[in-house]
């Protein structure tokens, strides 16, 4: 049953399986295991990045296409929901569905145009084209203030069921780890959890289908795939469209969670760099790396400053160390962590664990 659910793409490593199960259960039970506003925000951000990075891995890891326009589609999804819900007096599920539909339609058309007109060129030129398109979209989002809110962005209300003011129960639920409010915020979190799980399983099914095998063949040798009779431009364009659609859905989830959307929230180039880092950390062309990489990166991004503050206090009196461990230098240590992860896990965490599992089986047969 689990094998079919995972499209027969099992982790193929005991350590990897255990790690994935722990992370999945941790995210499933996060509101109860880690009560608090910050912890829930971090868990929701991890989930959204899992969907966003998995959609990008479909493009980069499985098709071999380098695109810098992924955050553009991410932002289209967020703006679609924001503009739709901001334009009505009373937030409703109909307005939310309309925003998601319009965002998906715009992303489909844009990704189709970009694919048909740009994917015939070499990889680096396609990457530059997508970077130019994404930059132009960011500029438009910042300047069309009457429509997008400009630099200030848009704040909006969500349907009552998803509002933090909506209470399932008057009194908080007592758990061994603390009290949890059963409100609209909790419902929103589990809506995101179900949506991201579904997106992940759908992408997993796509990459393990005959269509996905063709994408991997194009990644390895596009000339050979073309010689075998496959229209590589068509397959690349379809991959671009699918990847953009899933990124748009991730943007919709982000907007629902934040109840705000601005240019820096989803369209900044920093988010594109974060996606690339997570793909490299987790493992390119694995999908499971999207989960592991997102957890590692978002936790480091959210809690590294707190850890450095504690480390700085613990090393007071030791020359140079308190200055190096100040919370203001968290980006430096985040860079160090990234360099170490690339050095010790050149194929990503997932790739490394799978390699160890294969070596263990070979030694067992000898």
pLDDT, averaged in runs of 10, over the chain (366 residues): 81 90 94 87 96 94 89 95 90 93 95 78 76 89 87 90 85 77 90 96 94 92 87 89 95 95 89 91 91 92 85 78 79 83 85 85 73
Residue 180 backbone zone (phi > 0: left; psi -120 to 50: alpha; other: beta): beta
Structural domain for 90, as ranges: 2-365
Q: How far apart are CA 157 and CA 81, in angstroms?
A: 10
Number of domains in the chain: 1
Q: How far apart are CA 99 and CA 261, in angstroms?
A: 13
> Which CATH number characterizes residue 91's domain?
1.10.3470
Q: The whole model's pTM is what?
A: 0.93
- Residues contacting 35, CB < 8 A, separation 6+: 175, 177, 178, 179, 180
Tokens of 231: 């229209």
Q: Which pLDDT value is given to residue 247?
A: 96
């Amino acid at each position: 049953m689990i094998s079919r659910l995972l499209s027969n793409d099992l982790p193929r490593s005991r350590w990897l399986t255990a790690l994935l199960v722990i992370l999945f259960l941790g995210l499933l039970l996060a509101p109860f295991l880690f009560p608090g506003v910050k912890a829930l925000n971090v868990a929701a951000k991890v989930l959204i990045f899992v969907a966003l990075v998995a959609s990008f891995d479909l493009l980069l890891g499985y098709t071999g296409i380098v695109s810098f326009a992924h955050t553009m589609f991410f932002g289209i999804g967020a703006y679609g929901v924001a503009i739709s819900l901001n334009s009505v007096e009373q937030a409703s599920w109909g307005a939310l569905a309309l925003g998601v539909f319009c965002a998906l339609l715009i992303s489909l058309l844009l990704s189709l145009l970009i694919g048909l007109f740009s994917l015939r060129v070499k990889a680096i030129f396609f990457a530059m084209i997508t970077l130019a398109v994404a930059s132009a979209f960011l500029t438009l989002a910042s300047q069309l203030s009457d429509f997008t809110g400009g630099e200030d962005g848009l704040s909006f209300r969500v349907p009552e069921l998803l509002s933090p003011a909506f209470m399932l129960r008057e009194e908080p639920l007592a758990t061994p780890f603390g009290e949890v409010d059963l409100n609209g915020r909790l419902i929103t979190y589990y809506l995101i959890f179900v949506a991201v799980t579904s997106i992940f399983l759908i992408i997993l099914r796509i990459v393990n289908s005959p269509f996905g095998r063709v994408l991997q063949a194009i990644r390895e040798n596009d000339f050979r795939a073309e010689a075998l009779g496959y229209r590589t431009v068509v397959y690349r364009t379809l991959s671009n469209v699918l990847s953009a659609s899933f990124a748009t859905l991730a943007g919709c989830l982000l907007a629902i969670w934040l109840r705000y959307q601005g240019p820096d929230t989803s369209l900044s180039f920093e988010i594109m760099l974060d996606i690339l880092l997570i793909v490299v950390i987790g493992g390119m062309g694995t999908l499971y790396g999207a989960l592991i990489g997102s957890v590692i990166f978002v936790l480091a991004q959210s809690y590294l400053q707190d850890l450095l503050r504690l480390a700085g206090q613990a090393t007071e009196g030791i020359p140079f160390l308190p200055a190096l461990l100040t919370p203001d230098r968290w980006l430096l240590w985040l860079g160090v962590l990234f360099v170490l992860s690339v050095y010790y896990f050149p194929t990503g965490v997932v790739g490394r664990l799978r390699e160890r599992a294969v070596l263990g089986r070979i030694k067992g047969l000898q």
